[in-house]
């Protein structure tokens, strides 16, 4: 969690350094001048891995953003993450109890994921996959992600369409673009859940900075550096987990986790069910934070709600801990999936506190590719995706939800 903070927040490097990377990657000053009419020397955003600059393409005048890898990042990360991995394996040797938590495997997965983030050609491929999914599912009227300009993109430079909008938790900002924040949330949730089933990969970092409500009312998904990929077996186990949650049957939830996880010995289903019940009953009591921002000059104030990302991470770790304390090793992709679901739960509390995603007919959680294709075909060329559901509650396929029931 603390390591991710270091990746997300960092002072910008001088524009002269960025310009040198652009020259090297895109063919020199003349090539830059031919391709870009303007590049803003002041970064729009900066993180440890990269920083982003607004630019305008020559000829078309299109406004774009350029994501530029910071110098030396790849080498530093390889060295530091390699050391952390070796340390984790040593700790497992010195403290055998840590082996059941899969500490070394978790660190190895983090290392692989982060190193993929410093190769922007992989993010480009992720973006193109998601755009193809949106087009095939006829969802482009409700959601989008940035178009990539491959002619001015490399492994260290990613040039993308600039999407203008506000964060999914900016209540005042959202109301300027739509009179239906709840419908916008449902569109985001439906799009994401369909992508889990129909897209080769799903967005695995849907924190509020990566989900925008655009000026035209659509949902914008940005930053595809981290994605997940689910096997059919894992997805089937996840839907079983969700079905147990719908009915408040923690034993069914426990069986779903057991089906999904690797275990070297028999697992006590009753104990695992009891641990899950205690955890989820506590989750229902958590609330988002209210933040008030005052403008002294205009003598106005605006209230918004925040999703505590540290809290989401802690909740995920507690779920993993419950599983590991019962002898289960869960696949990393499950952790990614649950974390995104926890984010959407927070957003539901903010934008639609009375919405019950598990029972609202507008919300879709398809269990299979066939169900997802039916839902997508019912979108009517990109509408709000009216649900195609069976009448029986036990037939609802879900990811996971911890929304308090009214």
| Active site members | 205
Q: Can you tell me the distance from the alpha carbon of 398 to that of 243, in angstroms, rounded to the nearest whole number?
A: 7
- Angle between helix axes 181-198 and 369-377 (nearest 10 degrees) is 140
Cα–Cα dist 26/35, whole Å: 9
Q: H/E element holding 133? A: helix 120-136
Q: What are the CA-CA distances from residue 373 to residues 143, 228, 362, 370 (Å)?
A: 17, 20, 16, 5
- Tell me the two tokens of residue 284: 């229902």
Residues sharing a CB contact under 8 Å with residue 211, sequence separation 6 or more, in sequence order: 167, 168, 188, 219, 220, 221, 222, 347
Q: What angle do CA 65, 68, 72 make, to 5 degrees?
A: 170
Instruction: Give the three-class secondary structure for 304.
Output: strand
Neighbours of 27 (CB within 10 A): 13
CA distance 14 to 279: 47
Strand order across the 165-167 sheet? 143-144, 219-221, 211-214, 165-167
State how far the Cα of 219 lies from the Cα of 166, in Å rounded to an integer. 10
DSSP state letter for 238: H
Question: Per this entry, what is the length of the chain?
Answer: 406
Cα separation, 351 vs 349, in Å, equals: 6
Please report which helix (H) or strand (E) contains residue 186, including its range: helix 181-198
Contacts of 72 (CB under 8 A, 6+ apart): none
Cβ–Cβ < 8 Å for 142, 35: no
Among candidates 235, 205, 239, which has minimal Cα distance to 222?
A: 205
Residues 6+ apart with CB under 8 A from 279: 318, 319, 322
């Amino acid at each position: 969690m603390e390591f991710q903070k270091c990746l997300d927040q960092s002072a910008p490097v001088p524009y002269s350094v960025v310009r040198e990377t652009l020259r090297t990657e895109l063919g020199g000053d003349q090539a830059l001048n031919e391709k870009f009419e303007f590049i803003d020397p002041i970064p729009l955003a900066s993180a440890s891995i990269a920083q982003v600059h607004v630019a305008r393409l020559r000829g078309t005048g299109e406004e774009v953003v350029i994501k530029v890898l910071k110098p030396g990042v790849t080498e530093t990360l390889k060295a530091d993450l390699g050391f952390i991995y070796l340390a984790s394996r040593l700790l497992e040797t010195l403290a055998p109890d840590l082996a059941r938590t899969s500490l070394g495997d978790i660190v190895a997965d983090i290392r692989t994921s982060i190193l993929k983030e410093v190769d922007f050609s992989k993010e480009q491929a992720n973006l193109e996959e998601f755009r193809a999914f949106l087009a095939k599912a006829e969802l482009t009227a409700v959601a989008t992600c940035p178009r990539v300009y491959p002619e001015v993109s490399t492994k260290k430079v990613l040039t993308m369409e600039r999407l203008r909008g506000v964060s999914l938790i900016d209540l005042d900002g959202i109301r300027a673009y739509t009179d239906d924040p709840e419908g916008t949330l449902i569109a985001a949730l439906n799009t994401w859940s369909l992508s889990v089933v129909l897209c080769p990969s799903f967005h695995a970092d849907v924190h509020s900075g990566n989900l925008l409500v655009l000026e035209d009312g659509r949902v914008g998904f940005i930053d595809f550096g981290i994605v997940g990929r689910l096997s059919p077996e894992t997805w089937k186990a996840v839907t079983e987990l969700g079905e147990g949650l719908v009915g408040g049957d923690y034993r069914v939830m426990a069986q779903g986790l057991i089906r999904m996880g690797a275990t070297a010995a028999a697992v006590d289903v009753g104990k695992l069910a009891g641990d899950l019940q205690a955890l989820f009953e506590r989750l229902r009591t958590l609330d988002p934070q209210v933040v008030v921002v005052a403008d002294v000059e205009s003598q106005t104030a605006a209230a918004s709600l925040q999703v505590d990302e540290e809290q989401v991470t802690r909740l995920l770790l507690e779920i993993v801990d419950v599983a590991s304390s019962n002898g289960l090793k869960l696949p990393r992709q499950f952790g990614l999936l649950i974390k995104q679901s926890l984010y959407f739960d927070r957003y539901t509390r903010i934008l639609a506190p009375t919405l019950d995603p598990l029972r609202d007919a507008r919300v879709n959680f398809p269990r299979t590719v066939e169900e997802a294709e039916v839902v997508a075909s019912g979108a009517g060329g990109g509408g709000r995706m009216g649900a195609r559901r069976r009448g029986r509650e036990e037939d609802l396929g879900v990811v996971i939800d911890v929304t308090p029931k009214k």
